[in-house]
Amino acid sequence: MSTIALRNTEISIVEEVTENTPVNEIALGALIFTADGIEVNIDRELIPSNEITASLTKTSPQPGMYSEDLGFSVTMNIKGKGTKSAPEWAMFMKSIMGQQNANTDNTVAAAPGPTTDLFTTTVGQDFTLGQLILVNDEVIRIDGIATDALTVFPPLSATPVSTDPISAGISWMLSSTSHPSFTSYIYFEDLLRLRLAGCKVTNCEMNFEVGQNATMAFTVKALTPTYDRTAQAVTPTYDSTTQPLMCLGITSKTIFSGVITGSPTTTETILVAPNFQVTTSDSIIVDVGSGVYETKAISAVTGTEGTNQTLTHATLSGAGTATETCYIVHNQCGYVKDTLTITIEMADVAKKCMVSSSGFSGRDFTERTVNISRSPFFTDWSEFLMRDNVIGSALQVVLGDTANNIFAVNVAKQIIGESSLVTDELMSVDSSLQAVKDAVLGNDHEIAIATF
């Protein structure tokens, strides 16, 4: 007996070899909804007949093309890697991101001596530039691969040592050229089946709300529908061991870069007039020599945003250097109050074709936008100064701390587009941000997503 999903609906999704050429479902592609079910759009235009009948009576219309929004939307709970080979929503993510990597776990090598931003592995080529990895419970992005040496960001808070594990997980990264299509089989009661070919995900909205399960809502657009009465050929299996991740105690970091000035010491660092406010709940990351970074808690701050700020912090093993870059990590609510939304949206154009029975021959993506929406408390003018000066910051969100149930999102550079004051009880700022071209890796690295 197959498992009944929410609203008595079951689904299978299978990657296509050729766009809009249906493929048979497989057991791995059968999934069960873990959130709010599915909404299907199979609208079709009816073309009226204008033939003269010597009467006011209309003749029957003819069926025309299906809606360009033909497809469905589905919401799934966010989980980690889980006990299956990939999460239930992996094909959806691969379709909109373009790349899916399931690389091999590794370990830190013994020599040469590893540092926090450049350390060696046994086989560095097993990794992909731009992917996220997990080292000593910290999620970092690979910014460089030189044979078996990895350059990463953000720097680890402590130098890894030989044999420390490196978890590769499953990563999804952006592409501008490859967005695989898939065939969807949607099963309803009484053996009613809808098959949709040429499916692509055009929108993925990740919602993180305090006290609620984190979710991903996918919008799928298709090219060709087929209706029939067929029982599902495979049985969905549900990963009941991996629990949905909830927004309680998650790690949300906003990372700013600053320039050191003056005569820094091991306990005091001065920043050159940053456009953001540093607080005593923040941390500072400083290069103490030879590319070894240390992360220390900030205990006192003198100065406000837009002026030089003197930061007193826990003792470093070596002082920073004037004119060099350091990093400030804001992790107290991560510049988020109660809700964070990250949306990947693809502008798409359906290619109309006279010789195609559906009227469509394919679907092309023409533009990509990664939007972030957040509402921090109004404690300083950072949101507005960063907006006015087009200052970017990095964003990292990590849910979970248990093996096989960790989910991470990394935005390398986000720019504030709009900010407005909200006069609610505690005063907040509504901010809309957009991920833009990464200064380190360039195109197609606005966002990376991974499960471990």
Residues 132 and 182 in one domain: no
Residues 308 and 345 in one domain: no
Residues 15 and 95 in one domain: yes
Collect the ranges in the chain with pLDDT lower than 50: 1-5
Residues 85 and 12 in one domain: yes
Residues 224 and 180 in one domain: yes
Residues 417 and 358 in one domain: yes
Confirm whether 323 is domain-assigned: no
Residues 153 and 271 in one domain: no
Confirm whether 434 is domain-assigned: yes
Confirm whether 54 is domain-assigned: no
Residues 420 and 343 in one domain: yes
Confirm whether 293 is domain-assigned: yes
Confirm whether 274 is domain-assigned: yes
Residue indicated by tokens 């837009």? 306
Find the CATH number of the domain harbouring 164. 2.40.30
pLDDT recorded at residue 352: 85
Residues 74 and 192 in one domain: yes
Residues 164 and 271 in one domain: no
CB 58 within 8 A of CB 49: yes
Residues 209 and 180 in one domain: yes
Residues 112 and 207 in one domain: no
Q: Which domain holds residue 121?
A: 104-168
User: Which one of 168, 194, 219 terminates a domain?
Assistant: 168
Confirm whether 95 is domain-assigned: yes
Confirm whether 255 is domain-assigned: no
> In total, how many domains does the chain have?
4
Find the CATH number of the domain harbouring 14. 2.30.110
Confirm whether 208 is domain-assigned: yes
pTM higher than 0.85 for the full model? yes
